[in-house]
Every structure is written in structure tokens, then in C-alpha cells.
Amino acid sequence: MYQPPHFREDDPAAKAALIRAFPLGLLVTSGQSGLMANPIPFLYDEAGGPFGVLRCHVAKANPQWKEIGEGLDALVVFQGSEHYIRPGWYETKRETHKVVPTWNYAMVQARGRARAIEDRAWLAQQIRGVTIMMEGGAPEPWSVEDAPDDFIASQIKGIVGIEIELVALEGKWKTSQNRNEADRRGVIEGLQAMGDPSAAIMAAMVEKTLDRGA
């Protein structure tokens, strides 16, 4: 991933938080059939190695796990908040007109060696982990135990696990750090005026760059 220094995010906690907030990662592999990509929800275990471990499951009908087999290099892309940035929001436009549109975003890219897992106990633990992650904050959370045992057993027969021991975890927060303070304040005001949740989130992210003097 192209990483200009002012957009690079090195804080492990920030990268882990983005993965947990946006767990649907794009799993990309290149095997005998060529490039393959599938969106899959992941669990991230920070303690699983120097850069952590990602775990997920896919349908047995999905050919990607067969390509992975006992070992294949993999890339997982986690896309966080993003928003289009209008040049008209910049103070610089009023001063010189030397501005162009851009896009702000936060992203984590994880790379490592993937392996497919068909062990039923591992799969049972993985689906419980994903369920707890997604249902834990609900007023009446659903749990795997809410479904009949034989039904869950039949569902597990139809999936295969994937575990990726990471060798790199890169974060990129493109949130107007390359603009001067007046331009960033213009971006914040422009986003806030849009009145939609995604714009409000990005406005808060740009505001953080002012708070920490980026």
C-alpha cells in the first residue's frame, strides 16, 4: 500500500479498533486459479503473534479455501470510514483556486500466511467468537446455543475455517493531514453541514488531526 508519511498510522490499538469496527474484510489470494477476492467477517486476535492472527470461516462451496490449502500468502483489506472531499471547502480555493477534489478514508491492510482448517471444534469456537463479537452489545443477544445442536452441527459441516498468521499490519488514515489548518477547518465545516452520519464521522476524524497538531 502506498504510504506517504503523513497518512501512515502506526498505532496498533488504532488499527485493531478499525478491524473490530469494520470486521468485514476483503480476503485476497492468488493461487492456481489466479486472483480471488471474497468479503468475509474476521475475528482479530492481537495476542496470536507479532502482528496478530485473523480467523474466519467460508462456505465449503467457496473455492478460495481449496486454493489456500495448507498455506498460501493472503491479503485482507479492512475499509473504515471514507468520504468525498469537495475542493470548495478549502480556504485555499478562495485564495488561489489551486485545489482539486480528493477522498478521505481510513484503512488497514493485513498480510500473512493463510491455512484452511476443517477441524469441527475449531469451527465451533470460531462461530461462537464471531457471534459474541456481533451480538454482544444487543439488548437480547442471539447465541449459538439458541439454535438446536443438530442444526448447528449440520451448519458446521458446510463451512471451512481460515487462519492467517500476520507478518504485516499497515494502517493508512487519509484525513486531510496534508492540508493547512484553514483548509482542514473548512473540510470539517463542509462535512458537518452535510448532515449525514458518515460525513459526521469523517469530520470528527479530520478534527483529531487539529487536536494532535498533525
**Residue 211 confidence class, pLDDT cut points 50, 70, 90:** confident
DSSP-assigned beta bridge partners for residue 122: none
Asked if residue 127 has pLDDT above 80, the reply is yes
**Residue 48 confidence class, pLDDT cut points 50, 70, 90:** confident
Residue 196 per-residue DSSP state: -
pTM: 0.94
Residues 76/22, Cβ–Cβ less than 8 Å: no
Residue 67 identity (one-letter amino acid): E
- Going by C-alpha positions, the residue among 81, 85, 40 that lies closest to residue 171 is 81
- Going by C-alpha positions, the residue among 31, 24, 119 that lies closest to residue 71 is 31
- Going by C-alpha positions, the residue among 57, 52, 63 that lies closest to residue 112 is 52
Q: For the chain, what is the mean pLDDT?
A: 96
Residues 85/176, Cβ–Cβ less than 8 Å: yes
Q: Are strands 24-31 and 72-85 parallel, antiparallel or unpaired?
A: antiparallel
Q: What's the pLDDT at 214?
A: 65
CATH code, 5-86+102-178: 2.30.110.10
Q: What's the pLDDT at 64?
A: 97
Residue 112 per-residue DSSP state: E
Q: Assign residue 98 a region: left if phi > 0, alpha if psi is -120 to 50, beta otherwise?
A: beta
Which percentage of the chain shows pLDDT scores above 70? 99
Asked if residue 37 has pLDDT above 90, the reply is yes
The per-residue pLDDT for range 132-171, each reduced to its tens digit, is 999 988 999 999 999 999 999 999 999 999 999 999 999 9
Domain ranges of the chain: 5-86+102-178
Q: Between helices 181-194 and 197-211, what is the axis angle to 10°?
A: 160
The per-residue pLDDT for range 71-86, each reduced to its tens digit, is 999 999 999 999 999 9
Asked if residue 189 has pLDDT above 70, the reply is yes
Residue 148 per-residue DSSP state: -
